[in-house]
Amino acid sequence: MLKIIGLIALIVGLCFLYPLLSFIVGWIVGCIIKVTMGASIISGLAIVGINLPLEKIPLFFGTLAVIASFFHSPEINKKKE
């Protein structure tokens, strides 16, 4: 019985932890991008109509990481012989 409760707690914990970890990794990548090539990203986004201040780049990339994590496919395309 205790193993079942532990398994349920693990599944629920991962459901909450995975998006949080995804956001944190995306936010860190956004910080690196802001420092290295932030002006280029801002001007490129402005061309497509997204006006974003330089300070919001980490939040933008963190949000994109969470959204993209829901569209993740574990299958890898294998070459058919």
Give 23's pLDDT tier (boundaries 50, 70, 90): very high
Q: Is the pLDDT of residue 76 over 70?
A: no
Q: Is the pLDDT of residue 17 over 90?
A: no
Kindly report, residue by residue over 27-67, the tens digit of the pLDDT.
Answer: 999 999 999 998 999 999 899 998 989 999 999 999 999 99
* Domains in the chain: boundaries: 18-69
**All residues at 6 or more sequence positions from 41 whose CB lies less than 8 Å from its CB, including other chains:** 33, 34, 57
